[in-house]
Chains A and B, each alone.
Chain A
Amino acid sequence: MQLLKAITQYQFLQNAFAACIMASVVCGIIGVITTEKKLIMLSGGIAHTSYGGIGLGYLLGFEPILGALLFSVSAAIGIGYINRKGYQRSEILISLFWSVGMALGILFVALAPGYPPELSTYLFGNILSVTKIDLYLMAALSFAVVAIVAIFFNHWKAYLFDAEFAEILGIKTSVLEYLILILIALSIVVLIKAVGIILVLALLTAPAAFSALLTHRFALRMLYAIIFGSIFCVSGLFISYYANIASGASIVLLSSLCFAVAYAINQISLGK
């Protein structure tokens, strides 16, 4: 109740609340896709590469989140392109993008003149510091993600289940393959403000894994993941606000704990 009252009073809490919901919607949809297609490590790679863009933003004096957008989309396209060229060891590729992105970020920040900026916001997230501009960007990206998945839903389902068969049907699977990588990149940018680069993976996996315990229908799994993500995020926000700790940490710890408990209950009820 107190939080609801606070939300009506403070602009920054309203922003934080809106950011929570958008992050949950994106996580629900993209999280289900990445966990099903085993693209989690790839998502981690793209997320960490984006740190280079944040550093570049500081160095050149533009909005760091735009730098993150640029770097994550480039990383997604780069990884996709090299994989398509027949490079087999994608884990090596992902690791290299991951570490090079981080290294570039550190380098750019070191090169930036003046006092080193507060970077923990981007690494660990601080949903209470979300600005109006952040919100507009998040809204645009969330809308893009939802729209692209919804518009081609039946094609996505067929492609994600069996890409080879989709290709035989004449579907341009290369388009879908790049699109999914770009969607992951966009989602990560949405998530950075909420949970930060380092904790993105938890928000992509926990709600999706949680909903996987409850339903085996593809669309329903996305919907449940959105609902659970929202609950985790808003509760995490509440904890973050009152305990004055980084929102990323509270959201991640809460969602992981909930998943662990749900998984344990599920195992016990299955009699294992």
Chain B
Amino acid sequence: MSKKAIDIKNLNVRYGQNTALSDINLTVEEGDFLGIIGPNGGGKSTLLKAMLGLVNISGGEITVYGKPRNARKAKIGYVPQFAMMDKHFPITVFEVVLTGRLCGKLAPFYGYSKADLKIADDVIERIGISHLSKRRISQLSGGEFQKMLIARALAQQPKVLLLDEPTASVDTSSRRQISALLDEISNTMTIIFVTHDLLAVSSHVKSLACLNTTLVYHGEPQLTEQVVDSLYDCPVDLIAHGVPHRVLGEHKGGR
């Protein structure tokens, strides 16, 4: 019997006059590996942030393991879009990963325990960036930065891992490594990631959702032309760049 990791019912999110998400119903089973695709501005990041409790929802509810959303208690790990981050902050890779262990309370003179240091070391090794551990973040490539953020999220020891565009703006070999990494991680926890890049959808994704303000599709990782067209409002030619598994049927002519 699989448990519901995340259950979203009639979710609405508005930013002022703009509707970012409208009437979303989505259930993510424990152990799922869900890819959410959709165009830019389709509300993908907003959906992740709603699950994390970072945005105010205007209607509906989100439960995480049966409890109202509360990232801290429910242990949701998060990998943000690294393009948005401060890459010049004076901090090393190890220190960043260690912040995944930080306690949520503003405890005076809080120090990391030996166990925390060990966990940070272990995830750094698991991600394969041990050689970068002491390096400061301004010296990292895009792919290395992204791996560091994945390590930080794993240091949280989450049950569910959320990733926002994990393979955007990284080079091809890093993209492949990160995809392989996610496949491996998906054996141990529930993963949800969003991407605007149809090609980033790994061959090991167990289910797929398509989001453009509303949820257009949710189910098996096979897309029909009809779904993709309604998702992107215009015909999209689906080219697979050496992706081992084609999630998309061939596109036939315009509308």
Q: Is the CB of A172 within 8 A of B106?
A: yes
Q: How far is the CB of A266 from chain B (nearest CB, A)?
A: 15
Q: Is the CB of B111 within 8 A of A154?
A: yes
Q: Is the CB of A169 within 8 A of B91?
A: no
Q: Is the CB of A164 within 8 A of B72?
A: no
A161–B145 Cα distance when bound, in Å, is 14
Listed in ascending order, the chain A residues whose CB lies under 8 Å from chain B are 36, 150-152, 154-155, 157-158, 160-162, 164-172, 175-176, 212, 215-218, 221
Q: Is the CB of A162 within 8 A of B99?
A: yes
A122–B65 Cα distance when bound, in Å, is 59
Partner of B109, one of A151, A176, A217: A151
Residue B199 is within 8 A (CB to CB) of chain A in the complex: no
Q: Is the CB of A170 within 8 A of B104?
A: yes
Besides A165-B78, A176-B106, 17 other CB < 8 A contacts?
A: A36-B86, A152-B108, A154-B112, A158-B102, A161-B89, A161-B91, A161-B99, A164-B54, A165-B80, A165-B99, A169-B100, A169-B104, A170-B104, A216-B90, A216-B136, A218-B89, A218-B90
A105–B229 Cα distance when bound, in Å, is 62
The total of chain B residues at the interface (CB under 8 A) is: 33
Q: How far is the CB of B79 from chain A (nearest CB, A)?
A: 10
Contact residues of B: prevailing secondary structure: loop
Listed in ascending order, the chain B residues whose CB lies under 8 Å from chain A are 52-54, 71-72, 76, 78, 80, 85-86, 88-92, 95-96, 99-100, 102-106, 108-112, 136, 138, 152, 156
Q: Is the CB of B104 within 8 A of A154?
A: no
Partner of B138, one of A151, A152, A216: A216
Q: In chain B, what residue has the closest Cβ to A217?
A: B90
For residue B110, which residues in chain A have a CB less than 8 angstroms away from its CB? 152, 154-155
Name 21 A/B residue pairs within 8 A (Cβ), A-sorted. Answer: A36-B90, A155-B102, A155-B110, A158-B99, A158-B102, A160-B89, A161-B89, A161-B91, A162-B80, A162-B99, A164-B80, A165-B80, A168-B76, A169-B72, A169-B102, A175-B106, A212-B90, A216-B138, A218-B91, A218-B95, A221-B90
For residue A162, which residues in chain B have a CB less than 8 angstroms away from its CB? 80, 85-86, 99
Q: In chain B, what residue has the closest Cβ to A215?
A: B90
Q: Is the CB of B86 within 8 A of A161?
A: yes
A151–B106 Cα distance when bound, in Å, is 9
Q: How far is the CB of A241 from chain B (nearest CB, A)?
A: 35
A170–B105 Cα distance when bound, in Å, is 7
9 nearest interchain CB pairs? A170-B104, A170-B72, A158-B99, A216-B136, A216-B90, A151-B108, A218-B90, A161-B89, A168-B71
Q: Is the CB of A168 within 8 A of B106?
A: no
Q: Which of B72, B80, B99, B136 has the most CB of A within 10 A?
A: B99
For residue A166, which residues in chain B have a CB less than 8 angstroms away from its CB? 99, 102
Q: In chain B, what residue has the closest Cβ to A154?
A: B110
Q: How far is the CB of A238 from chain B (nearest CB, A)?
A: 31
Q: How far is the CB of B43 from chain A (nearest CB, A)?
A: 17
For residue B76, which residues in chain A have a CB less than 8 angstroms away from its CB? 168
Q: How far is the CB of B11 from chain A (nearest CB, A)?
A: 19
Q: How far is the CB of B114 from chain A (nearest CB, A)?
A: 15
Q: How far is the CB of A87 from chain B (nearest CB, A)?
A: 12
Given A157-B91, A216-B136, CB of A168 within 8 Å of CB of B86: no
For residue B80, which residues in chain A have a CB less than 8 angstroms away from its CB? 162, 164-165
A170–B53 Cα distance when bound, in Å, is 10
A232–B111 Cα distance when bound, in Å, is 33
Q: How far is the CB of A166 from chain B (nearest CB, A)?
A: 8
Q: Which of A154, A164, A171 has the most CB of B within 10 A?
A: A154
A172–B138 Cα distance when bound, in Å, is 27
Q: Which of B88, B91, B156 has the most CB of A within 10 A?
A: B91
Q: In chain A, what residue has the closest Cβ to B95?
A: A157
A272–B187 Cα distance when bound, in Å, is 49
A154–B102 Cα distance when bound, in Å, is 8
Q: How far is the CB of A173 from chain B (nearest CB, A)?
A: 10
For residue A152, which residues in chain B have a CB less than 8 angstroms away from its CB? 106, 108, 110
Given A152-B108, A154-B110, A162-B80, CB of A168 within 8 Å of CB of B90: no
For residue B138, which residues in chain A have a CB less than 8 angstroms away from its CB? 216
Q: In chain B, what residue has the closest Cβ to A32?
A: B90
Given A152-B110, A212-B90, A216-B138, CB of A167 within 8 Å of CB of B102: no
Q: How far is the CB of B251 from chain A (nearest CB, A)?
A: 37
A157–B136 Cα distance when bound, in Å, is 14
